[in-house]
A and B are shown apart, each in its own frame.
Chain A
């Protein structure tokens, strides 16, 4: 193999907030052609083109998984092209180096970064296109540029409109301007106002195409039978009975799993239950989530861990010590669309149709698994039926490619819900020892010691052999994973870098070595660390006899953004004046550069928590599509309520015990509270929106439950005794 992946790890930019990995994949100096390249179209950059017919096409370089990039990024382009976003044709982009994220160095959708990091780049690409079209019209019609403007998909002149289609040929010869001026915020027509969803119509008529909907001639369906425990492999299998079943074409070993290939999904699924397999146990056999929690508790007592942040002098921590242990479990992503991918393999190429958050990582993973070169592989991204971080991984694409390669058929691999629940990369379980000192009713220190497995350690370990050049010895991969692991920012993000002020503050991290596969789950480390921090802050307020809001304000600087947002939430929710029979809890958390405060109102009947209302205030810079921001807050709150009230993945003997929605329940309509969202006005550049609605919910809810019951619940999911 001649893989030319050099310059690996130009930067391991270990960013907070999630998918924080910086690999540089560039090995070839020649940039490949832009996606959807055509000799008759104007295409000054990878993002935008005007076809010979005058259509404007945007290559959507981020994956639409419900968070709204399909509309959001189009709105950015539309602003500078001065045309209705609905006039722009949006295509899911294939991989191109120009689509690599400037912070993560790969083409990836995650970290709530799409609009934040595209806010300038897509507008510049669109402004460049508009400038070229204007120059072309001026040149072709011999008019001064100053007499022309680009409006609603045409070049407009006092003497009449000029169609894009009529100037494309000229425009292709016009050089890109060296610099463009972007529309000033006070002149925005669409940014901050555009509230339709461009993908909505297809999604209400059933015509929107998700990965699982892709049809390919003569494609067969494969289901895989994977080891019940993580890391186990099929030693041998007997498929005689399965092969005799209707529609079954072949049964084969695929890298330790058994693939059953049939004409239809149902035939493959039926036949799978007729295969008998002898399994070889994996390294996690015998591991249970209960034992892992006990081990973390021991680690918290016996290990000092690695210091992640320290502010102030330890000597300032005077007075009586207060400590509390908090725990959160593993969680599954449970996207509504189970994992799936369609692969077509020929001797020269591999084509994949699927919904995935990181086609760049997937290209390398497929190349590594199949022996093909990255350049021989194409990934056609589709709508994602939910992502939440699950579809950053490439496992299901690799499976489809391998089954297709080994069987010789075009193959659609479709996971069952049970496969999905038991084959996830879970939100890590985590335990923390929160401690404080209180001297004369004044809190003099706040400390957090986290014991948790490292997402970074697993992720780097899992992807490094696909992303690093071939000459890097295996030992170095492991070493790199180890290095990344012990400083995993996800383990402590949200506990560190906040502006609460106590005389002494400290955060330490102890890595737990053993874990089932873990990954990036909507809001990542913030999903548990906000619960730890904002619950314990509430404990300290109660201990010192102060109102939870007032206690927070007493420990925040005057110019704090956190202060501004929590004060707004308190005002909007009538903090301190709950409805009769209800109790309020409050929390505030910053994640992905966005501040969110929530006030939750609950009542308790027969030890059941009923959530009545959530008031949410978000400060996210300019809200490009305000209604989508609101929708993301609403959705984040529902997602977080599921985790806070129900979510619990348990492991026995290396295998996940939950299997479907009857034993891994989701919040439903009848349990959904009234949700009110307020967006703080801002002139700053946009910050993250997809994830930040999640973290404050669990602590605000737990704090409300404490107000209602006097019970301080330190474990998720919340259960009253």
Chain B
């Protein structure tokens, strides 16, 4: 057993867990955050992707004690409020990406991580960033379109319009 503390979607968490438990199961079972999915248990499919200090990791293969003192973001923490969508989620809706939807939390987390480091990704950049995420329904063509669309939306997201100067003009 290990006691650890970390920040999850902006909130402090302190937990006692069995050492070696993958982060995925702590999120899903202990914290009832079920948006992050179990797909393969070997880091092969990307359904369990979350952000650790902003970088994508496969939570199914990431022992939870390694997140001690660090920052985790899951699909539930992506948008700033319940009725707001992150631009990547917005683009996903515009392109009607999800089919069964099971892999989409992982797809979106990978896409957000890509766009945080590269705000104008090429198709090759998208291939490199997204090929670790399997979608059995075959939504890849729409994932690609949605990432390009999110890149357009993100220009505003990452450089928020100054409301006061806008109102003044």
Contact = CB atoms under 8 A, between A and B. Distances in A.
Interface in A414-429: 414, 416-417
B100 A66 contact: yes
Contacts of B98: 66, 197, 199-200, 203-204
B44 A337 contact: no
A332 to B, nearest CB: 11
B138 A205 contact: no
B18 A266 contact: yes
A669 B99 contact: no
Contacts of A639: 136-138
Interface stretch (A89-97, A131-139, A383-391, A445-453): A383-391
Given A201-B93, A668-B134, A206 B74 contact: yes
B96 A200 contact: yes
- Chain B interface mostly: loop
Contacts of A246: 1, 18
Contacts of A206: 34-36, 74-76, 105
A203 B100 CA distance: 8
Given A264-B25, A661-B134, A669-B130, A383 B100 contact: yes
B35 A207 contact: yes
Contacts of A540: none
A335 interface: yes
A120 interface: no
A203 B135 CA distance: 14
Interface in A320-353: 334-338
A199 B101 contact: yes
A670 B127 contact: yes
B32 interface: yes
Nearest to A635: B138
Interface stretch (A162-170, A210-218, A525-533, A556-564): A210-218
Contacts of A67: 99
B108 interface: yes
Contacts of B137: 66, 336, 386, 635, 638-639
B115 interface: no
A10 to B, nearest CB: 33
Contact of B39 (A221, A417, A668, A672): A417
B154 interface: no
B21 interface: yes
Contacts, number: 185
Contact of B40 (A64, A247, A417): A417
B38 interface: yes
B86 to A, nearest CB: 9
Nearest to B44: A661
B79 A65 contact: no
A3 to B, nearest CB: 34
Contact of B104 (A204, A264, A628, A631): A204
A628 B45 CA distance: 24
A334 B136 contact: yes
Nearest to A202: B101
A666 interface: yes
A640 to B, nearest CB: 9
Nearest to B100: A66
A196 interface: yes
A660 interface: yes
B104 to A, nearest CB: 5
B102 A337 contact: yes
Interface in B81-130: 85, 89, 92-93, 96-105, 108, 126-128, 130
B155 interface: no
Contacts of A662: 42, 44
A267 B136 contact: no
Interface in B1-41: 1, 18, 20-22, 25, 28-30, 32, 34-41
A370 interface: no
A196 B96 CA distance: 7
Interface string B141-153: 1111000000000
Contact of A205 (B37, B47, B85, B139): B85
A385 B36 contact: no
Contacts of A205: 35, 75-76, 78-79, 85, 89
A666 B136 contact: yes
A667 interface: yes
A416 B20 CA distance: 18
A261 to B, nearest CB: 14
A656 interface: no
What interface size band does chain B fall in? 35 or more
Contact of B93 (A204, A660, A672): A204
Interface in B52-86: 74-76, 78-79, 85
A314 interface: no
What interface size band does chain A fall in? 35 or more
B99 A385 contact: no
A359 interface: no
B42 A417 contact: yes
Contact of B102 (A265, A385, A666, A672): A385
A674 interface: yes
A336 B25 contact: no
B102 A661 contact: no
A336 B136 contact: yes
Contacts of A661: 40, 42, 44-45, 134
Which of B20, B21, B45, B140 is packed against the most chain A CB atoms within 10 Å? B140
A627 interface: yes
Given A195-B96, A215-B32, A264-B29, A660 B42 contact: yes
Which of A213, A627, A639 is packed against the most chain B CB atoms within 10 Å? A213
Contacts of B20: 270
Contacts of B104: 203-204
Contacts of B18: 246-247, 264, 266-267
B130 A65 contact: no
Contacts of A65: 100
Contacts of A334: 136
A662 B76 CA distance: 29
A637 interface: yes
Contacts of A270: 20
Contact of B136 (A264, A386, A660): A386
Contacts of B40: 417, 660-661
B136 A203 contact: no
Given A635-B138, A639-B138, A661-B45, A265 B100 contact: no
Nearest to A614: B141
Nearest to A264: B29
Contacts of A199: 98, 101
Nearest to A693: B138
A540 B75 CA distance: 53
B140 A672 contact: yes
B47 to A, nearest CB: 6
A9 B145 CA distance: 49
A247 B21 CA distance: 12
B76 A636 contact: no
Nearest to B143: A669
Given A201-B93, A204-B98, A667 B138 contact: yes
Contacts of A267: 18
A101 interface: no
Nearest to A64: B100
A385 B39 CA distance: 10
16 contacts: A200-B97, A203-B101, A203-B104, A204-B98, A206-B36, A210-B102, A264-B18, A266-B22, A335-B102, A336-B45, A337-B102, A383-B101, A384-B100, A417-B45, A635-B138, A669-B144
4 closest residue pairs by CB, A with B? A206-B35, A638-B138, A385-B102, A203-B101
Given A200-B93, A205-B35, 15 more contacts: A206-B34, A206-B35, A270-B20, A335-B102, A336-B137, A385-B37, A387-B100, A635-B138, A639-B137, A661-B42, A667-B138, A669-B126, A672-B138, A674-B141, A675-B141
